[in-house]
Amino acid sequence: MSYCVNCGVELDGTAHACPLCQTPVMNPRQPVDTFSPPPFPTRRKEVPPVSKRILAVLLSAMLASAAVCCGVLNLVLKPELHWSVFVIGAAIMVWIWLVPPLLLRGIPLPVRLLLDIVAVGLYVYLISRDVRGGTGWFLGLALPIILTGGAVVLFLGLVLQNGKRSILSGITIVIGAAGAVSFFAELFVDRWLYQCWTPEWSLIVVTICAALIVPLIIVRRVPSLREEARRRFHM
Ligand SMILES: [Zn+2]
């Protein structure tokens, strides 16, 4: 049995060089065994990554089959309750979320997010058409919440897109955005239900968010704390 003169690793009899440090093996007492097969494969074989187009076709087929099956089931069982419209709408929404980014390369993030938000809005509009007083509910309550949520998602996408920000800043911004969304959500719900604004639960959420953000900002500002956080949480 030979050992590498450089790093000391035990060498197989068929090795021409150390597998770790590539130092050539020269042992006059034990020449390299050129007849036995090496104990590990010499060529690397990799499974090629799945093509995005195939993935897009697969996803489209899955969503389409779910939509068609539900549509047929609805027509056969209870045609008067058109519940399958919700499933078909959801399938179209998920398709808009997942498939265009796979097929269109280099599609800018704001355009992608805008498409996703429009898809959510259209789906909720589809639902609202089947709910009593639906269109009013959609325009008065759902649309403002979707637009606010969409604006926040767009803002987060643009701010966190380039990855230059530290994880601490990213977490701080996301927590702040969650607080803002809950604040506006309660504002719109109150305005829709009671025609006045009496903040309750959103204030609790905003307070919790603020209580998390303040220490995060302090940690980010103080270099010693920042280093400690980086070490402890492996950032
Ligand atoms: Zn070695």
Q: How far is the CA of 3 from the centre of ligand 1 (A)?
A: 8
Amino acid at 189: V
DSSP state of 142: I
Distance in Å, CA 16 to ligand 1 centroid = 11
Q: How far is the CA of 167 from the centre of ligand 1 (A)?
A: 39
Contacts (Cβ under 8 Å, ≥6 apart) of 73: 84
User: Is the separation of the CB atoms in 219 and 169 below 8 Å?
Assistant: no
Q: Looking at residues 132-137, what average pLDDT do you find?
A: 75
Per-residue pLDDT tens for 67-94?
999 999 999 988 777 788 899 999 999 9
| Mean pLDDT, the chain, integer | 89
Among 37-51, 118-132, 185-199, the range scoring the smallest mean pLDDT is 37-51
The better pLDDT of the pair 220, 95 is held by 95
Tens digits of residue pLDDT in 43-71: 778 888 888 999 999 999 999 999 999 99
pLDDT of 133 over the 70 cut: no
